[in-house]
Amino acid sequence: MKRHLISAADLSREDAIEILDTAAELASVSSRPIRKLPTLRGRTVVNLFYEDSTRTRTSFEAAAKRLSADVINFSAKGSSVAKGESLKDTALTLEAMGADAIVIRHGASGAPHRLAEWVTGSVINAGDGTHEHPTQALLDAFTIRQRLGGPQQDGDGHRGTGLDGLRVTIVGDVLHSRVARSDVLLLSTLGAEVTLVAPPTLMPYAVSTWPCEISYDLDRELPKSDVVMMLRVQRERMTAAYFPTVREYRRRYGLDVGRMALMPSRAIVMHPGPMNRGVEIAADVADSSRSTIVEQVGNGVTARMAVLYLMLGGAEENS
């Protein structure tokens, strides 16, 4: 494993499959009566969160604690400038506290890159601006593999396999989505065929250079999708001329029961959360048996355990 996990592009196919396989093994821990492994005892993991994100922070916290690491939650809400302490000074402080890994969530794209220059421990990107969110992509890949991967469905049946040939359609605000960037990179590395669907205003410039297909027409993509991933539409986009009204957005890009019927029978619906029910996804779709949304949350802990295990524990075993 690399020292840091900042971009999904840092992961080779072998790296990614190793993480998914490790996650599959660790998943059994979550179903035990005592959900704890001693692997990272004496190691310190700092959750450095510059943005409110209860779900991601608690997911990392649970992952670290199940591996017996000491967890420090360092909440630095607001920009570093507003707070009065620079990211560098915070980094040096955490370094002095002996952080073996720093999990960082930050509103500015690239903040984890900067942090990695100033600390000796591992940096794990838990979402930076509109750049990337690689552990979300890992949990998405894990969920897809579990549901749709490989011919065998028993126990370790998917071990060593990627997502070859699976067709994943990601729908919504790709422009501002760190999840979409990481998903495109990781899922394509694992062999999936990714298609992005959005109004042209929410498609990044030069998106044609990405390893995926582009479409503006959701209805055309749904019949050939194995996975449909709906992205959250941020409230502030609704007033910035990206689309005329929420009503029109829902009509053209929202996933309701009628649209879900266009999908192949075994296809699944995903959402990284938090959802805007009734905007990008209808409530009865979110709650349907095809939805993996709750599963994704559980898999998030498992995938993050695998990352921490391989980055902190694995390194020790190898040396």
Active-site residue set: 55-56, 83, 105, 133
Minimum distance between the CB of residue 79 and other proteins, rounded to whole angstroms?
Answer: 7
Minimum distance between the CB of residue 176 and other proteins, rounded to whole angstroms?
Answer: 8
User: Between 204 and 313, whose beta carbon lies closer to other proteins?
Assistant: 204
**Coil, strand, or helix at residue 169?**
strand
Tokens coding 289: 């048996």
User: Between 74 and 210, whose beta carbon lies closer to other proteins?
Assistant: 210
Burial of 103 (0-12, 13-18, 19+ CB in 10 A): buried
The CA-to-CA distance between both ends of the chain, in Å, stands at: 12
User: Between 206 and 261, whose beta carbon lies closer to other proteins?
Assistant: 206
Minimum distance between the CB of residue 41 and other proteins, rounded to whole angstroms?
Answer: 34
Residues interacting with other proteins, by CB under 8 A? 79-81, 86-88, 106, 108-111, 113-114, 128-132, 178, 181, 204-207, 209-210
- Whether residue 61 contacts residue 73, with contact meaning beta carbons closer than 8 Å, is answered with yes
Minimum distance between the CB of residue 86 and other proteins, rounded to whole angstroms?
Answer: 6
What does the angle CA 207 – CA 114 – CA 127 come to, to the nearest 5 degrees?
A: 55
- Give the Cα separation of 105 and 112 in Å (integer): 8
User: Between 84 and 155, whose beta carbon lies closer to other proteins?
Assistant: 84
Pick from 30, 8, 244: nearest CA to 138: 8
- Whether residue 127 contacts residue 137, with contact meaning beta carbons closer than 8 Å, is answered with no
Tokens coding 83: 């707070």
